[in-house]
Amino acid sequence: MGTDVHIFLVENNPEDARLIMEILRESILTTYRVEVVDSLQHLMSAVAVTRPDAILLDLCLADAHGIETVSRVTGCCPGVPVVVLTQGPGEEMGFEAVAKGAQEYLTKGNMDSRLVDRTLRYAIERKKIQQERDMLESRLRQVEKMETLGSLAGGIAHDFNNILFPILGHTEMLLMDIPRENPVRQRVEKIYKGGIRARDLVSQILTFSRQDSLVLRPIPIAPIIHEVVNFLRSSIPSSIEIRPCVNNRCGPVKIHPTQIHQILMNLSANASDAMKGKGGTLTIHLKELDCRWNSCPAPKMSPGVYAFLSVADTGSGMEKGIVNQMFDPFFTTKEKGKGTGMGMSIVHGIVKNAGGTVLVQSDPGKGTRIEIYLPVHDPIESHPATGSEFLEKGNEHILLIDDEKEVLATTKQMLQHAGYRVTPFSHALSALEFFRTDPAAFDMVITDMTMPGMNGNRLAAEFVKLRPGLPVLIWTGFSEELFEQESAMGIGKIMVKPVSLHGLMDTVRTLLDESRESCVKESQPAVDHLTV
């Protein structure tokens, strides 16, 4: 507690008020600034103007209602410690006052400067500790809520991936069979594009639920911004005009597409809230900024080429104190229950992990502009996409295991479409027993990761024990990171559902060819090189 403490003394007896003020003046450790108010009504008016460090409250006021006065005062002055003044022995009333929310009580006629000073110091410190505890409990509840929501979202996304799998698989097979000049093909292509958008949405849900392992690679972000802008037009009030100013030639940034979505959706939501009721303009700007020779916008930025992304609004703006706290986790200016306080913290974390910088410009009444600088990277050399006319094919025998019957049936047809022989199983243990009868009968195994009875990683390990060198492909509706510890055991590759027809066939062909090459090398006799 500081040496200068502001006290509201609520006392309608002038003599009692004078005695209490004298006691407070005798304090050696603390200087008290005391304002005397003689009624509850005057107290309410005073706290609306000035927030005191503590309130000394007499319950014998003309407009008071006994012990319930404590609840009324603590309700209108949250965060301000209240010390009740009682008459006579007063212990019973003092205990009741504490039960109603007071921090402590003092008995008139039994007070000296040391007792009053100690009581007030204790009340103020105890209130601070109580507030900190309440804040931590609130944050813990919020974290638990987010974790529960994340787990729920992850489960829904996993199920939705299994639903998308046959939709995309059958659509791709239709596109293989329908000639380009056939008008029906355009309709099927639209179904396929809708499925791809749904797959990308599931990827965002998995990222939110923290069950997705993000693979960061340089990508152009202009197309993603256009997609978000189209979504925003139907999701924010029509009184807000959206002005995109996007340079499509801006260089690639090493970031995951869903993270750009998160950044723009969080910033746009805040901008929309700032303009709620009166409307305004939301401007999204993207351009390439060369800071190799010019000065950088922020002191800690390294010279280089950056993608400059900004989101600006014409809303209410923010005070400097709020700007300084806006990236703190759980900080929010929204009403209770209308904001988690995590949006700007997430934005800051994404940008920082991408090696970027966030700057904020805001003035009360003039709006806010969030500026993001992300390093531009050289694009990764890409291989030409496989067209629908060509599909990697084979005639090997594949053991296929997945507990989702629709996924199992669709995958079987996709593999057979490419010429492979397929033996399907919907139960892991049944597949393992069948494999034990003749391990050499199969050239490859494809299995789901999450199944009843035995998970895909354990199942794959059993297959490899029975037949070393057997290529195994595992797929999952959750995350690649589940497979990292298994890759060291020589278990082939992992794919994330829903897989594309060409992606699956390319992977299958690659694993089979690598396995064959490995067998050839092992079968060749070693040659001794003699020096003559």
> Does 393 score more than 50 pLDDT?
yes
Q: Are residues 440 and 350 in the same domain?
A: no
SS3 label, residue 467: coil
Q: Is the residue at 211 inside a domain?
A: no
Decide if pLDDT at 522 tops 70: no
10 Å CB burial of residue 154 (0-12, 13-18, 19+) is buried
Q: What is the pLDDT of residue 470?
A: 92
pLDDT band for position 50 (50/70/90)? confident
Cβ atoms of 8 and 52 within 8 Å: the answer is yes
pLDDT > 60? residue 340: no
Whether 446 and 412 have beta carbons less than 8 Å apart is answered as no
pLDDT reading at 284 higher than 90: yes
376 and 440 part of one domain: no
Residue where a domain stops, chosen among 111, 129, 148: 111
Q: Within this chain, do residues 418 and 366 fall inside the same structural domain, yes or no? A: no
Residues 266 and 331 occupy one common structural domain: yes
Q: Are residues 372 and 418 in the same domain?
A: no
pLDDT tens digit string along 158-185? 788 888 889 999 999 999 889 988 989 9
Alpha-carbon span 169 to 66, nearest angstrom? 74
**61: nearest Cα among 79, 87, 82:** 87
- Residue scoring higher pLDDT (263 or 489): 263
Residues 6+ apart with CB under 8 A from 479: 206, 211, 212, 213, 496
Closest to 359 measured CA to CA, from 418, 451, 297? 297
pLDDT (0 to 100) of residue 378:
79
Tokens of 441: 């009968």
The percent helix, strand, coil of the chain (3-state, each to 5) is 45, 20, 35
**397, HSE (Cβ side, Cα atoms, 13 Å):** 8
Name the strands in the sheet holding 367-375, side by side, starting at the edge strand that comes first in the sequence: 240-246, 280-290, 305-313, 367-375, 357-363
Q: Could you give the angle at which helices 257-274 and 343-353 cross, rounded to 10 degrees?
A: 140
Last residue of a domain, one of 382, 417, 447: 382
Tokens of 80: 């301000």
Domain hosting 480: range is 397-523
Average pLDDT over residues 333-356: 72
Q: What is the mean pLDDT of residues 305-321?
A: 88
Residues 370 and 470 grouped into a single domain: no
Q: Dihedrals φ, ψ of 453, to 5°? A: 90, -55
Any idea what the CATH number is for the domain that residue 492 is in? Answer: 3.40.50.2300
pLDDT of residue 371: 93
Q: 409, 441, 436, 449: which is closest to 425 by C-alpha?
A: 409
Is the pLDDT at 529 greater than 60? The verdict is no
Are 407 and 378 members of one domain? no
The H or E element that residue 436 is part of is helix 428-437
Q: Is 252 helix (H, G, I), strand (E, B) or coil?
A: coil
Is the pLDDT confidence value at 525 over 70? no
pTM of this structure: 0.54
Q: Which residues pair with 32 in a beta bridge?
A: 5
Mean local confidence (pLDDT), 196-217: 66
Q: Are strands 305-313 and 367-375 parallel, antiparallel or unpaired?
A: antiparallel
Q: Which helix (H) or strand (E) holds 120?
A: helix 113-177
Q: Do 408 and 265 sit in the same domain of this protein?
A: no
Do strands 493-496 and 472-476 pair parallel, antiparallel, or not at all (unpaired)? Answer: parallel
H or E segment and range at residue 473: strand 472-476
Q: Is the peptide bond before 78 cis (omega within 30 degrees of 0)?
A: no
Question: 111, 129, 157: which is the final residue of a domain?
Answer: 111
State the DSSP code for 26.
Answer: T
Instruction: Give yes or no for residue 78 having a pLDDT over 60.
Output: yes
**503 and 433 in a common domain:** yes
Give the amino acid at 88: G
CATH of the domain at 321: 3.30.565.10
Each residue's pLDDT tens digit, 366-391: 899 999 999 998 765 444 433 445 67
Mention every residue, 6+ apart, whose C-beta is less than 8 A from residue 159: 477
Residue found by looking up tokens 């801006």 in the block: 250
Count up the domains in the chain and report the number: 3
Q: H-type helices in 209-297, by residue range?
A: 222-233, 257-274
At residue 91, does pLDDT exceed 80?
no
**239 & 297 share domain:** yes
Query: Higher-confidence residue: 401 or 71?
Result: 401
Whether 328 is covered by a domain: the verdict is: yes
How far apart are the C-alpha atoms of 213 and 14, rounded to whole Å?
70
The amino acid sitting at 373 is Y
Is 105 part of any domain? yes
Torsion of CA 315, 317, 323, 325, to 10 degrees: -70
Which of 399, 483, 407, 404 lies closest to 433 in space, CA to CA? 399
Evaluate whether residue 175 is within a structural domain: no
Residue 167 maps to a domain:
no
Q: Is residue 60 part of a domain?
A: yes
Q: Are residues 374 and 409 in the same domain?
A: no
Alpha-carbon distances, residue 185 vs 177, 390, 392, 451 (angstroms): 9, 17, 22, 36
Does one domain contain both 332 and 470? no
Does residue 342 lie in a domain region? yes
- In this model, does residue 332 exceed pLDDT 70? no
Q: What is the average per-residue pLDDT within 402-427?
A: 94
Residue 172 falls inside a structural domain:
no
- For residue 373, the model assigns a pLDDT of 93
| 309 Rama class: left (phi>0) / alpha (psi -120 to 50) / beta | beta
User: Which structure tokens are listed for 155?
Assistant: 């489960």
The whole-angstrom distance between residue 194's C-alpha and the CA centroid of its chain comes to 25
Given a cut of 90, whether residue 422 has pLDDT beyond it is: yes
